[in-house]
Amino acid sequence: MTRAVIVDTLRLASGKGKPGGALSGTHPVELLAHVLRTLVERNGVDAALVDDVIGGCVSQIGEQAVNIARTALLSAGFPESVPATTVDRQCGSSQQAAHFAAQGVIAGAYDIVIAAGVESMSRIPLGSSTIGQDAFGPGIAARYSESLVNQGISAELIAAKWKFDREALDTYSAESHRRAAEAAAAGLFDREIIPIDVTDATGETVPHAVDETVRASTTAEGLSGLKSSFFSDKYADRFPEAQWAITPGNSSPLTDGASGVLIMSEEMASKLGLTPRARFHSFSVAGDDPVFMLTAPIPATKKILAKSGLSIDDLDAYEVNEAFAPVPLAWAHEFGADPAKLNPRGGAIALGHALGSSGTRLLGTLVNHLEATGGRYGLQTMCEGGGLANATIIERI
């Protein structure tokens, strides 16, 4: 069977997803174009050999509309013959892109493919694509009545169900910042982050190469003073079990970013004289209760462990996206997972969650961590809007 391997992975340093953020002055097409261009140039790959570019993006509207993966590759100078498509599996969009890419290689449809993702939350605010629209329709309304809620309320429901109090959430979040800051200071992100020239507030062109969302000084005590993000009388009456413990401090920040992974067959890598860094071992995707919404990493992980024949103890690291602190905490509780292996370089609470980019960002961080520590197997999983989750197991080569 053809094996799909990861040759390289890279990303932009995160930018705060608001006006004035480091990447907010750069068009999202250019963010992704810079990643695509650098990915082939850094590995000496002729862009004409790329069979497809599969990009993830959630808010496909405005500057991120009309198939941003295609417009980005054209902006990057790829030959017009290279095709592209943009997919939306909500927060897992670029993880799904990596699945499609690797599965295409395994099936023999591709020799070389790039999986990537982008999101500019400063320029295309979250929810832009549904403003003034009914995104669900009457069938969903009839099935779930008024049960469907936003992700923040879902996070509150998870915290209540698994009995995570405010202190536990803030302690976990502070540790995410500590780990990310420590990893950055040790140069552990240097291989995955590529600098990009941006325009700063004074109009000068400067390189951006440090995650803007990491706050090294974060403490649980400091986070404890933040107010609830989602409390309202309307929800308080409907969900009396909620503790209203979700705040900006234990949630992932709005973020701008782009990332990409160069994937090919093992045979093609050998032909081009490239050294694979990891191979795709197993895949899964699962659905779960759309009211709790963010719990699907649990069934997705059960599914992939059964498919792979591996146990949780066989895994050397797990990247579980930190959309909100209760998500990885609930996941870890269900599997008895080792806290030291969970998001060992910090997670999205610190590093940011640029929606469409996060899947390939997590994948790259996982590859680099396995290499640095000599680990063999790594798991990546992330919650996605609508009660979905992807899971991926990779094996370091």
Please write the tens of the pLDDT for every residue from 253-294. 999 999 999 999 999 999 999 999 999 999 999 999 999 999
pLDDT of residue 201: 74
pLDDT of residue 12: 98
What average pLDDT does the chain have? 97
pLDDT of residue 369: 98
Please write the tens of the pLDDT for every residue from 69-96. 999 999 999 999 999 999 999 999 999 9
pLDDT, mean of residues 165-186: 98
Whether pLDDT at 228 is above 80? yes
3-state helix/strand/coil string of the chain = CCCEEEEEEEECCCEECCCCCCCCCCCHHHHHHHHHHHHHHHHCCCHHHCCEEEEECCCCCHHHCCCHHHHHHHHCCCCCCCCEEEECECECHHHHHHHHHHHHHHHCCCCEEEEEEEEECCCCCCCHHHCCCCCCCHHHHHHHCCCCCCHHHHHHHHHHHCCCCHHHHHHHHHHHHHHHHHHHHCCCCCCCECCEEEECCCCCEEEECCCCCCCCCCCHHHHCCCCCCCCCHHHHHHCCCCCCCCCHHHECCEEEEEEEEEEEEHHHHHHCCCCCCEEEEEEEEEECCCCCCCCCHHHHHHHHHHHHCCCHHHCCEEEECCCECHHHHHHHHHHCCCHHHECCCCCHHHHCECHHHHHHHHHHHHHHHHHHHCCCEEEEEEEECCCEEEEEEEEEC
pLDDT of residue 109: 98
Smallest CA-to-CA distance from 159 within 240, 232, 246 is with 246
User: Which of the four pLDDT bands, split at 50, 70 and 90, describes residue 200?
Assistant: confident
Q: Decide: 378 and 394 in contact? Cβ < 8 Å.
A: yes
Please write the tens of the pLDDT for every residue from 127-162. 999 999 999 999 998 999 878 999 999 999 999 999
pLDDT of residue 279: 98
pLDDT, mean of residues 4-29: 97
Average the pLDDT over each of 195-209, 288-302, 313-327 and give the range with the smallest value. Answer: 195-209
Active-site positions read: 91, 353, 383
Please write the tens of the pLDDT for every residue from 355-380. 999 999 999 999 999 999 999 999 99
pLDDT of residue 147: 83
Plot region of 346 (φ>0 → left; ψ -120 to 50 → alpha; else → beta): left
Report the percentage of the chain scoring pLDDT > 90.
96
pLDDT of residue 379: 99
Q: Is the pTM of this model over 0.75?
A: yes
Please write the tens of the pLDDT for every residue from 47-69. 999 999 999 999 999 999 999 99
Q: Decide: 24 and 85 in contact? Cβ < 8 Å.
A: no
